[in-house]
């Protein structure tokens, strides 16, 4: 399977799996890639396709040649944990000397940057809520799972795809104890309320 696949389509199951960055879906891409009928690995603008881009470029084709009632699946991570994953990723050795590296920043500094209207490069990591924002015609992710509910996600996929799934941890950033100061966490929850509202809206199955 091509490295870095970000979207998979399973025709028989009528399922599209969109990969929100930093939600651990690389392991599922490795496990399920051989079963997928369509894998999108390049260009970056399409392999990282959020809902609005999927709606514009992929939906018309898939509805014509696959089915009109496709389920769109995505995984959402608890927002502070999601930001922590980005922070840790940009601490990796290969980031040394790059402008977006976080080696000389605390996690509070990183999140403070994320809360700015004009985000500095090191904190310009996108938005889960924006990635999954419904398109103007109503196209949206129809099935969401919490990143923390791996058992529920795996069970649902196994039933839908009629296969056993074995996953291994991949693309894992260095472990570190990350905690926000109460003041910075309160600011994040206030300024990025839509991120928390999205996550809180997803039931644990």
Which residue ranges make up each domain of the chain? 7-200
Q: Please tell me which residue, 48 or 181, carries the higher pLDDT value.
A: 181
Tokens of 54: 């999927």
Query: Up-side HSE of residue 162: CA atoms within 13 Å toward CB?
Result: 5
| Alpha helix (H) residue ranges in the chain | 26-32, 44-47, 51-53, 59-65, 79-89, 107-114, 128-131, 150-161, 182-191, 193-200
pLDDT-based confidence at 167, cuts 50/70/90?
confident
**Interatomic CA distance for residues 59 and 81, integer angstroms:** 31
Q: Given the structure tokens 């923390």, which residue do they identify? A: 148
Q: Which residues pair with 73 in a beta bridge?
A: 17, 143
> Could you give the dihedral angle defined by the CA atoms of residues 8, 9, 15 and 20, in that order, rounded to the nearest 10 degrees?
30
pLDDT of residue 1: 36
Dump pLDDT digits (tens) for 10-42.
999 999 999 898 998 777 888 898 899 998 877
What's the predicted TM-score (pTM) here?
0.90
What is the chain's alpha carbon radius of gyration, rounded to the nearest angstrom? 17
pLDDT of the residue at 66: 92
Tracing tokens 């080696």 back to the chain, one arrives at 103
* CATH code 3.40.50 for 7-200: yes
> For 113-166, how does the pLDDT look when each residue is reduced to its tens digit (9 = 90+)?
999 999 999 999 999 999 999 999 999 999 999 999 999 999 999 999 999 988
């Amino acid at each position: 399977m091509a490295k870095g696949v970000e979207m998979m389509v399973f025709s028989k199951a009528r399922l599209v799996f969109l990969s929100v960055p930093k939600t651990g879906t690389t392991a599922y891409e490795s496990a399920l890639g051989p079963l997928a009928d369509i894998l999108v690995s390049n260009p970056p603008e399409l392999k990282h396709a959020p809902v609005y881009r999927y709606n514009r470029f992929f939906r018309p084709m898939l509805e014509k040649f696959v089915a009109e009632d496709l389920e769109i699946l995505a995984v959402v991570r608890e927002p502070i944990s999601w930001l922590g994953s980005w922070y840790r990723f940009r601490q990796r050795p290969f980031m040394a000397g790059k402008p977006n590296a976080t080696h000389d920043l605390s996690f509070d500094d990183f999140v403070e940057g994320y809360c700015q209207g004009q985000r500095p490069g090191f904190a310009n990591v996108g938005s889960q809520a924006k990635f999954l924002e419904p398109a103007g015609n109503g196209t949206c992710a129809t099935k969401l799972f919490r990143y923390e509910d791996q058992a529920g996600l795996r069970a649902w996929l196994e039933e839908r795809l009629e296969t056993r799934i074995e996953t291994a941890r991949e693309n894992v950033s260095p472990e570190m104890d990350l905690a926000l100061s109460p003041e910075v966490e309160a600011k994040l929850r206030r300024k990025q309320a839509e991120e928390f509202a999205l996550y809180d809206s997803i039931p644990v199955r």
